[in-house]
Amino acid sequence: MNRIRTVLANMTVACVLLGIACSADSSDREIRAELAQMADDFLNYREMQGFDHKMGLAEAYRWQDEIVVLMEPALGGVVGYKTGGHDSGPGFPVFPPEGIRGVMLAGMFRTSGTAVKLTEFRRGFLEADFAFRVGDSSINDAETDLEILAGLDAIIPFAEIPDPYYDPDTRSITGTIVANMGSRMSFLGEPVILEPTEEWLHRINTFTFAVYDENDVEIASGAMQGWYKPMTVVRWLRDQLRDSGKELMPGQILSLGNIGIIRQLHENSPRGPAYQSNQFRLEYFGLTDDKPASVTINIAR
């Protein structure tokens, strides 16, 4: 908590020294104190309280930027972005209707096969996802789907364990944005290098996937077709970042959100019974000509 308070103090000093218009009214001071508490609670596995403030989405994302700064000393710098709410499933009441954006920090990333313990999460759940890697800054001005694809250089097999550890009675849309969607850990498989062609667009829109346990038993399966169109989601994320004054940079990872297979890690969850297997292995089929691309999360019980 002391480190977070130091970051807050440094941010205020920097505003003064640089002549930036930093609000000194009591409302902003209260919000910054609330952010510091939320960041400290999340990093120390305590339940976050809701962020109950009436404001527009643009202002909520501005406060998200500030809580990310508070978390960077513990979790590292920004290495990518994530989004959610673009699939064909039922809407999530604490997401904006058009979708939500979060930030991924270096310390959140784990390599495929990393083992995690249940004690590393409080309300964590296993989520099958899909991600790209930015290859060229031209993506910031791309117009067609092929031009957007040309700004990407790889598909990253991607699974996540979000940990939305909020007081359930105080959750809100702005609170979910400001708390960075409760992002805790992300797992990356080996990149699949892609090419900006119509054939690759077809592969990306039509590949299938499945999740298996440690005994190669299929847990669930699905198809990208009818779930969401990856280029449409990348475009939305790019535009949302641009509206927030940000640009994508080569090397950044873009997680497009869940692809329909989610399993809760702990008991007593509204998402269903706890996952009992020791492995959650996500495989994509149809992106390569030989073996499937994959990413694995192992659970050390």
- 235, part of any domain: yes
pLDDT at 6: 53
Answer whether residue 173 is part of any domain: yes
Can you give the residue range of the structural domain that contains 187? 77-299
| pLDDT classification of 55: cutoffs 50, 70, 90 | very high
Residue 280 lies in a domain: yes
Q: Which two tokens stand for residue 198?
A: 């119509």
Q: How many domains does the chain have?
A: 1
In a domain, 212, yes or no: yes
Does a structural domain hold residue 52?
no
Residue 25 reports pLDDT greater than 80? no
Tell me the per-residue pLDDT of 212-270, one tens digit each, with 9 for 90 and over. 999 999 999 999 999 999 999 999 999 999 999 999 999 999 999 999 999 999 998 77
Expressed in angstroms, the distance from the first to the final Cα of the chain is 30
Take residue 261 and report the two structure tokens written for it. 């297979």
pLDDT averaged over every residue in the chain: 92
Burial class of 301 by CB neighbour count within 10 A (0 to 12, 13 to 18, 19+): exposed
Q: Which backbone phi and psi does 49 adopt, to 5 degrees?
A: -85, 155
> Is residue 194 one of the residues assigned to a domain?
yes
Question: Would 156 be classed as within a structural domain?
Answer: yes
> Is 70 strand, coil or helix?
helix
| C-alpha span between 202 and 190 (Å, rounded) | 21
Evaluate if residue 16 carries a pLDDT over 50.
no
- What CATH number corresponds to the domain at position 195? 3.90.850.10
C-alpha–C-alpha distance, residues 54 and 92, integer Å: 19
pTM of full prediction above 0.85: yes
The pLDDT confidence band at residue 289, using thresholds 50, 70 and 90, is confident
